[in-house]
Structure formats: structure tokens, C-alpha cells
Amino acid sequence: MGNRKVLIANRGEIACRIMHSCRQLGVSTVAVFSEADREAMHVQLADEAVFVGAAPARESYLRVDAILDAARRTGANAVHPGYGFLSENADFAAAVQDAGLIWIGPAPACIAAMGDKERARQIADAAGVPVLPGSRRFEPHDLDGLEEEARRLEYPLLVKAAAGGGGIGMRRVDRESDLHQAVQATQSMAAKAFGDGSVYLEHYVSSARHVEVQVFGYGDGSGVHLFDRDCSVQRRFQKVVEEAPAPGIPGEVRDVLYRSALSLVRAQKYSGAGTVEFVFDRHRERAWFLEMNTRIQVEHPVTELITGIDLVGWQLEQAFGSLQRVPQEAIRASGHAVECRLYAERPEKGFLPSPGPLEELRWPEESDGLRIDTGVREGDRVTPYYDPMIAKLAAWGVDRSAAIHRLERALAELKLSGLRTNAEFLRRVLGDDDFLQSRVDTGLAMAVLERYVTR
């Protein structure tokens, strides 16, 4: 790739993951770090590292000026945002490009369009993608017609941040008497998390599964899909177990998902890695568009395990003009992969974060069928400032049963002390009869938790 240098505008395991692909391609790396991360793993692995501010993210990892200054000072010519933080911030992407740097991601206009959930729904509908019934946008202090829209959509429903994602601030409402409180709470959370307090209502699908399609666009309206994933095992609307491919999806529904995802790629002339998310009603066997994430996903390892494709490597090669396009028919899936997110948290206390020292940390031995993505080592601390994820463990098998068994064994072999984790909870999910029989939906994790806490 010649003389290339990428600044990674992130931290933790995703920063380390991006560095792995950079090393494979001979690309130099620049890390940024906060006061809390001076000795962090991603800082040690980078070729260069630049301090960008105090521990709170808003004073470091969310500081566009500090990140761009770090790129200028180190001579970086490209920026990879990872996920979270500034990864879906269209203004940041534009600022990177205005500074004469390569933005490793889709065009700012695509990020803005898909980041506005109401607008994304309109684009999807125009592209012929089935869209779940929803309301107009309700700005802060503008609730005119709220009750009428809720009745039209029918209870239960979800209140969702129009500018957000990742389940942040999302609330389920089962009755009209709870509507205003849920809307106001979501608006407040959205304003803090995204700088935009607007929300919208969406019909809630019970017995729902969260199924998504990994896409990669070539920027000219063409692109490919890399099959699908199931991310239904969630706590607080955030994923904890993911797998590829999604089990038990009828072939005709899977075809609709792929066509729909690629129609969005065409409609936007999308460039790079992205994920089109759907809600699937497992009883009615119908799927509707939820949103599109314009970045690499946390759960991308399961797709890489079944396809053998380095998605981050593709991102880098595309950014530097060396990506060889791969036709759809050349992309094949083999076997099954399951991933779980290991968090420093207490499931029995409502998944309350549990920061602290990693006094002992011994990973199971990695192999061709087991992958561990982490940004911490023995002796490090999980701080209260950032997401408390310790690692992602992903296992591949010739079939779903083999992948689950390998992942269960890896969790059993894990040695970790000094703080509380969700490891035992994850083992209970993987061993749950409904999960083993592919009877998954977004309520499964909480059902397992109830049994786990009251055992």
C-alpha cells in the first residue's frame, strides 16, 4: 500500500482490531488516548500515540479538534473511526475530509441520511424496502398529536431517538398513561447522548428477532452482501450474543433481506462496510427495516469467521484505492459462528457496570475455530469512563451446535478475577434450551436472567 498511515479515532478492542489489519497490510498506525488510557493496550500496540485529553470521552475521544491535530502532527493521511464515539458523526467525517485526510467510511451525506432515523425510513421506503410502521419526528417540547400517532400505531410501541442507535434511551410503552413520561425520558437521554432530543414512535413487534445483513458498497451504486447475522439476544436493547448466519430464517425471507439491503446500497451509492438491520416477526415470518449502521459493527467477527473475509482490511484497501472488487457469487459462507460480549457488569443487578482491576486474566487458547478480540491485559483496569466490555469471544464450527459447544468451552476455560463479569450469564444463555433450539427472540436474555437470578 505504499507509505500509508492511519489514525484510529477510537480505543479499546476495536482500536486493537483495526491495528491488526493495518499490520497485515503494512499500514502504520497512530493511536489517540485519554488520561485514563495512558498505559492501555491500544496505545502500546500502535506505531505512534497522541494524548488527546482528560478521561471523560467528551474531553478526549469526542474532541474533533484534538483528533485532527493529532493526525496533522503525526503525518497520518487517513482516519478510521471504528464504532461508537464519532464513527457515525457526519460532521466529523466532513471535517476529516476538509482537512485533506482520507475518511475510512461512507460519504458524510450517507452517514447523515442514515443517522436521521426518520429520514432513513423514508429512503428505505422509497427504495422498496419494507418499513415498520412509525410516526413523525417529535422535537423537544413538540408533542402535538403524540397520543393520536400512538393509537394509530397501536400499543405496545417503542419510543426511539431519531438521531441515535445502539438501543440508547429506547423505551417500550404498553399503555397510553405511560407515553408522555417515556417520551420525555427518551428525549432527555437522546439530547445527552447525541445532541439531538428528537424522537419518534415505532410499532413494537412481540416475539421479534433482530436480524441484520452485512453489506459492502463500492461507491458507485454496486455492492455485495456478506450474508446475515442474528443479534436477538439483548439486554437493555443492546446485543450480547450474535451469530452468523441467522438460524431458522425461511429462504424466501432471507432473499428479501438481501435484496432490500442491496437496494439501500444502490440508492445511496454507498461506500464501504455497513449493516442493514431488520426486525423479524418469528411467528408471522415477516421482516421490516429498522435502521442502517454506517460503520463496522461490534459483531463483525462472526461474519469474518464464516466468509474468511477481513472486513476491516477491505475498508483499508478501498480507502487507499487498492481494493479488488469481489463479485457476489464469489462470496461464500461456510459453517456457523457465534460470538458473545464479555462485560464487566453484574447481571443480577440489572447489568450494572462493575469497573475494577483485572487481577488475573487468562484467555483460553486461540485456534482456527476460536477468536478473541480484546483491548485489555492482565493488570489493566476497566474504568468507569467507557463501555465496560472486556472482550468478544467468537467461535466457529461446522454447524451451529459445534460453534456453541466451542464457545461454551472457551468461557469455561477463561480465568478472570478482580471484578464481576457476565461470564456465567453468557454460559447460561448458550446452554438455554430455547437458544439451543433456535427459539430466539429479543426477550430471551431477560428470560434467562430471571431464571439465573432466582435459581
Question: What does 356-408 look like in DSSP terms, one character per residue?
Answer: EE--EEEPPPPBTTEEEEES--TT-EE-TTS--EEEEEEEEESSHHHHHHHHH
Contact (CB, 8 A) for 153 and 203: yes
Amino acid identity, residue 138?
A: F
- Three-point CA angle 133, 139, 145, nearest 5°: 60
The H or E element that residue 410 is part of is: helix 400-413
CA distance 391 to 351: 16
- pLDDT at position 74, please? 98
Mean pLDDT on 359-378? 94
Residue 203 has what pLDDT?
A: 86
Q: Half-sphere exposure of residue 292, counting CA atoms within 13 Å on the CB side?
A: 36
CA distance 152 to 222: 37
Residue type present at position 378: E
Angle at 244 between CA 86 and CA 282, to 5 degrees: 100
Looking at the annotation, which residues are catalytic? Answer: 295
Tens digits of residue pLDDT in 88-124: 999 999 999 999 999 999 999 999 999 988 889 899 9
Mean pLDDT of the chain: 94
Digit-coded pLDDT (tens) for 194-235: 788 899 998 888 889 999 999 999 999 999 999 999 999 999
Q: How many helices (H) and strands (E) does the chain have?
A: 15, 22
pLDDT exceeds cutoff 50 at 365: yes
**Concatenated DSSP letters of 305-323:** HHH---HHHHHHHHHTT-P
Please give the order of strands across the beta sheet that includes 157-161. Answer: 171-173, 157-161, 199-203
**Predicted local distance difference test score (pLDDT) of residue 144:** 92
Give phi and psi for 299, each to the nearest 5: -90, 15
Looking at the DSSP assignment, which residues form a beta bridge with residue 199? 138, 161
Cell numbers placing 232: 436477538
Give residue 230's identity as a one-letter amino acid code.
Answer: D
What band does 166 get if pLDDT is binned at 50, 70 and 90? low
Locate cell 397501536: which residue? 154
Per the CB < 8 A criterion, the answer to whether 443 and 428 are in contact is no
How far CA 19 is from CA of 30, 311, 321, in Å, comes to 9, 13, 19
Q: What is the pTM of this model?
A: 0.91
Burial of 228 from C-beta contacts in 10 A (0-12 / 13-18 / 19+):
buried
Question: Would the pLDDT of 192 be above 90?
Answer: no
